[in-house]
Amino acid sequence: MPNAVKTALLLGAMTALLMYLGQALGGAQGLVIGFMFAVVTNFASYWFSDKIVLSMYSAQEVGPDHRLYRIVASLAQRANLPMPRVYIIPQPSPNAFATGRNPDHAAVAATEGILQMLNDAELEGVIAHELSHVKHRDILISSVAATLAAAIMMIARFAMFFGGDRRDERGGGNAVAALATVILAPVAAMLIQAAISRSREYDADAGGASLVGDPMGLVNALRKIDSAARIVPLDANPATAHLFIMKPFSLGGIGSLFSTHPPTEARIEALMHQRR
């Protein structure tokens, strides 16, 4: 299914979820407010999602004198892509992501931790993975999903404090419905993200390895990032977890349902199979 269609379906699903959340907490008036909020959020997520996501992590743009910029520029030229904007995230946990609505408006961001941990070959593997997302236009749907999911979780938290006392037309309380809503809305948003991301990571791994010419840089990078992230998890907004090359925090047991990435071991196995 083309990513443009997936994006439209995602916007529709998130709109329906926002409207349901509004109705559950405010009846007919809440439904209208939910729809209006969905329209504004959809517009903002399409046009400004990259700026919103980058601001969440206090990302700092860097120029041609930076090591990361030079690696991105070299690989973008090799992939025949427009030069993305390049950002550094001031966090010690190793990770990276790409965002933007299309290749002409793309950005690549990496943490300070990943720059300190990886050598050039490994960093090239990571950046090639992110540029593969850019080339296949995965970044639009990823960025939109992050913005909408963050909005839904924000509303759910707000509703938890202010939505529990509303009475319906028959005079009965709906505190139980409100509580269920504030719990289920973020869950639904996270499940939508997970469904979007898992298969794309294998494709981006394969595309990145092909761009560099050897999967071993990315293989070694994934091993290092996976080990380090367990010790120094990224201080990440759960709504943006799917954007990163590696899940930024550990989710065990039932939490694996919300994992936006395949297991690292499975990704490495697929890359090694590509090498043979």
Active-site amino acid positions? 130
CA 82, 83, 85, 91 torsion-angle sign: positive
Query: Which among 46, 44, 20 is positioned nearest to 33, based on CA atoms?
Result: 20
CB 73 within 8 A of CB 81: no
Which 3 state secondary structure label does DSSP give 276? coil
Q: How many Å apart are CA 15 and CA 10, to the nearest integer?
A: 8
DSSP lists the bridge partners of residue 108 as 86, 98
Angle at the Cα of 76 (from 270 to 67), degrees rounded to 5? 95
Q: How many Å apart are CA 29 and CA 43, to the nearest integer?
A: 22
Q: Residue 135: CA atoms inside 13 Å, Cβ hemisphere, count?
A: 21
Query: Which among 62, 25, 38 is positioned nearest to 180, based on CA atoms?
Result: 25
Q: How many Å apart are CA 65 and CA 62, to the nearest integer?
A: 8
